[in-house]
Structure formats: structure tokens, C-alpha cells
Amino acid sequence: MNNDTTISPGKTRIGWIGTGVMGRSMAGHLIDAGYAMTVMNRTPEKAKALVDAGATLVDSPAKVAAQSDVVFTIVGMPDDVESVILGDAGVLSAIQPGGIIVDMTTSRPSLAEQIASVAAGKDVASIDAPVSGGDVGAKAGKLSIMIGGDEAVTQHLDPLFQLMGQTIVYQGGPGRGQHAKMVNQTLVASGMVAICEALLYADKAGLDLTTTLKSVSSGAAGSWALSNLGPRIVAGDYEPGFFVEHFIKDMGIALDEARRMNLCMPGLALAHQLYQAVAAQGHNKKGTQALMLALKKMNG
């Protein structure tokens, strides 16, 4: 990393791998700010909006890396992260010494540590920087970005993070961004169990659900999820938001890490199992609030 070179649109070449719902909006903010970008996606059609905005499309992570100073990745699963960064035609096969990799996928903390270690051997910095805030936060540039890795590198990258996020917090060394995201998902998981059970109870007890939400949304039981997803559940709207299959992946990572750390997390384990039922009922591509469908079916 050239610590003497401040990041700026005129000088810094950006690489972007992963142009799904999240990545597309986030990369778009960098292009809008004037950054030159090389982009790659498994399904190239999904990169079209960025190419139309001026990005150069290539067909491998290595080709992105060869033309970039800072390479962002935000792909699906930890295996995808591993393949895209550590694989044969991966970012680390072609990125120049002094380059920076920023993985914004929600992925395994241990993988983030491994990538940082391999990268360091090539004089490349690696940062894990998963996000929270969904498609809405990505579009608005108001994500929460949880950052692990070298602190000086994190500060160096700040002009880029500022274009994508509102709550940008350095959490510590490699993997600590991912761990913070696991904390986030643990909160979301039992929170969704709470909301769906509570609304099911309300329904069974003969309460009007919208009137019930009026009583419980603003006090000690209130939450972002209740205010934002509660009304969607009441309206029978189970569109994503955030996909069930991605959430199950996240909870699985957190539970794997908990096992590794010798930590009992019964609430998260229960939520994970209940979401397995959501998946078993064919709702992998619905939003996380589809937990309500599984609880309803379970109750006749």
C-alpha cells in the first residue's frame, strides 16, 4: 500500500467483483464520484448498469486485479469468496504489491484471517468489511460497514467507505469485521423469532395486528425490524429485502464460529432451525420475514 498516496478519483483505480443487488448500488456510488472501475460478475448481464455508467467489464477476478489498486468483492457464499480471492484465477494471483483487497461479503471470520495472511505474504493488504442495511441502505449510501484488518489501511480507504456507508466502524484485526456482522445477524435472528411469534400470538388472541403494532412498536419492545418488517408481515408481503438463503448462510457461519469458540447460543440455534423449516417449505428466495409462513404452517 502506498501510504503516501491519498485515495482519489484521479489516481486510484477500483476493481469490483460481485454486482448483485448490493454490489451494484455500492459500486455505482464510486463511479458516480468519478472513480475508474474494472468490473466482473459471474452473470455479466448484472454488471450492465455499471458498464453503461463507464466501468470496464472483464471475465475473471485476475483480470480485475491486474488493472486495479483497490479490489472490492461482494459475492454470495464463503466458498465464492475463497474462489474469487484465493483461487487459480483469483484476485491474489494478479494484484500488484501494494494493492488492497476489501471483501464486503458476509463470510467466515477465519477465511478473512486466512486471506489477510496469504495477502500479507504478497505485500497486499486485505480488509474484511461486511455491511448491514440491505438494498435500501446500499442505494442510499447509508450502510453500516464493519471493518476488520489493518487500521492504517482502513483509514486510507475511508474516502471510499464514506461513499457507501453512514456508520463506518473499525472493529479490530482481520476477521473482526466479520465477527461484528455475526453479532448483527445474531440480533436479527432471535429478533425475527420474537416478531413472528408475537404477531402469531396476537392473531390467535383475536387482536387486530395493526392496532397491536401501535401499542408495542414505540416502547421497550420496539425495534427496527418490528417497525419495518412488522407491517409487511401484517400485509402478507414476503418479498425480499434480505433473502432467507443468505440469512441461513450467515447464521450457519455464526454457529460454526460459536462452536469453535466453545460458546452455547441456544436462541441463535433455534432461529437457525426455524429458518431451515422456512427453506424446507420452499421460501429460500423470500425475505427473512417469511419466518412467519413457517410458524403459521407449524401451527396448522
Mind telling me the catalytic residues? 181
Of 10, 97, 121, 206, the residue at the interface with a copy of itself (CB under 8 A) is 206
Kindly tell me which residue out of 53, 140, 152, 221 binds a copy of itself, with binding defined by CB under 8 A. 221
Stretch that binds a copy of itself, among 37-45, 78-86, 199-207, 232-240 (CB under 8 A): 199-207
Q: Please count the residues of this chain forming the interface with a copy of itself, following the rule CB under 8 A.
A: 73
Select from 74, 69, 49, 47 the least CA-distant residue to 58.
47
Is residue 36 close enough to count as binding a copy of itself by CB under 8 A? no
Among 110, 223, 276, 281, contact with a copy of itself (rule: CB under 8 A): 223
Applying the rule CB under 8 A, the residues between 93 and 112 that interact with a copy of itself are 109
Q: Are 81 and 90 in contact (CB under 8 A)?
A: no
Residue 37: beta bridge partners?
A: 14
Shortest approach of a copy of itself to residue 166 CB, angstroms?
8
User: For 153-186, b where at least 16 C-beta lie within 10 A, e where not — what string?
Assistant: bbebbebbbebbbeebebbeebbbbbbbbbebbb
Stretch that binds a copy of itself, among 29-37, 38-46, 128-136, 151-159 (CB under 8 A): 128-136
Q: Which is nearer to a copy of itself, 67 or 171 (CB)?
A: 171
Contacts of 291-299 spanning 24+ positions with Cβ under 8 A:
291/192, 291/193, 291/196, 292/196, 292/199, 292/200, 292/233, 292/238, 293/238, 295/196, 295/197, 295/200, 296/200, 299/200, 299/204
Q: Tell the smallest beta-carbon distance from residue 59 to a copy of itself (Å).
A: 34
Task: Check binding of 133 to a copy of itself (CB under 8 A).
Answer: yes
129 binds a copy of itself (CB under 8 A): no
Which triple of cell numbers denotes residue 187? 440480533
Q: Which residue number, 72 or 247, has a Cβ lying nearer to a copy of itself?
A: 247
Stretch that binds a copy of itself, among 26-34, 41-49, 76-84, 220-228 (CB under 8 A): 220-228
Mapped to the 3 state alphabet, what secondary structure does 239-281 carry?
CCCCEHHHHHHHHHHHHHHHHHCCCCCHHHHHHHHHHHHHHHC
State the Cα–Cα distance between residues 39 and 47, nearest whole angstrom: 7
Q: Which of 84, 164, 193, 233 binds a copy of itself (CB under 8 A)?
A: 193
Q: List Cα–Cα distances, 275 to 1, 52, 249, 263, in angstroms.
A: 42, 38, 10, 21
Residue 292 has a CB neighbour count (10 Å cut-off) of 23
Between residues 64 and 268, which has the closer beta carbon with respect to a copy of itself?
A: 268
Of the pair 163, 200, the CB lying nearest a copy of itself is at 200
Report how far residue 200's alpha carbon sits from residue 37's, in angstroms, rounded to the nearest whole number. 48
- Cβ nearer to a copy of itself, comparing 74 with 265: 265
Task: Kindly indicate which of the ranges 28-36, 78-86, 91-99, 209-217 contains the residues binding a copy of itself, using the contact rule CB under 8 A.
Answer: 209-217
- Near a copy of itself in 239-298, by CB under 8 A: 242, 254, 257-258, 261-268, 270-271, 274, 295, 298
Could you tell me if 283 and 293 are in contact, meaning their C-beta atoms sit under 8 angstroms apart? yes
Cell 450502510 -> residue: 143
163 counts as binding a copy of itself under rule CB under 8 A: no
201 binds a copy of itself per the rule CB under 8 A: yes
Q: Which of 78, 137, 149, 287 binds a copy of itself (CB under 8 A)?
A: 137
